[in-house]
Structure 1
Amino acid sequence: MADREMDYKELAAATGLHPVTANKLKNTYVMPPRLDRGTLEKLCQVLDCQPGDLLRWVPDQEGSL
């Protein structure tokens, strides 16, 4: 989003997400508790990217399974 100079209001309008949701997605580095497939698809379509461009896997600390 930053690479495309898109603010959260533009993201909300383009994806149909609620502005509060778009703001949280844009301004957080923590995985939202309910990021569903549909939302991820909308984000990828609007931003012309792949899920891996938006997400990265960080393993939990050892022994916290």
Structure 2
Amino acid sequence: MSIIVNLDVMMAKRKISLSELSEKVGITNANLSILKTNKAKAIRFSTLNEICKILDCQPGDIIEYIEDDSEI
């Protein structure tokens, strides 16, 4: 997939753990881990909003598009 989730990078920059972020966002560690490891198929805007609020960042800091020539 051409969408890359850089949640782990932002978490490291903000020095916040998976469990701390999941508690503040209000989702399970397992679901946040799926997102963090790029295995998620979708994300709710409300979840993205909470993550951005807590990490003090923009959606583009977390989600990135990289062109994948193999999909053409």
* Fold shared by both chains (TM-score > 0.5): yes
- The one of 1, 21, 35 equivalent to 1:25 is 35
| Equivalences, count | 62
Q: TM-score, normalised by structure 1?
A: 0.78
Q: List structure 1 segments (4+ residues) > 6 angstroms apart after TM superposition.
A: none
**Cα root mean square deviation, aligned:** 1.7
Q: How much identity, in percent, do the aligned residues show? A: 32
Bigger mean CA offset, 44-53 vs 17-26: 17-26
Amino acid at match of 2:31: T
TM-score (norm 2): 0.72
Indicate the structure with greater strand content.
2
Q: Deviation at 1:36?
A: 1.9
How far is 1:47 from its partner? 0.5
> Where does the alignment leave 5 or more consecutive residues of structure 2 unmatched?
1-10
Q: Which amino acid aligns with 1:20?
A: A
Q: Which residue number in structure 2 is paired with residue 55 of structure 1?
A: 63
User: Matched residues in 2 for 1:48 and 1:2: separation?
Assistant: 13
Q: Which amino acid aligns with 1:39?
A: T
- What are the residue-to-residue correspondences of 1:10-49 with 2, within 5 Å? 10-26=20-36, 28=37, 30=38, 32-49=40-57
Q: Deviations over 1:14-50 (max 9, x none)?
A: 1001111122333x1x362011211111110110100
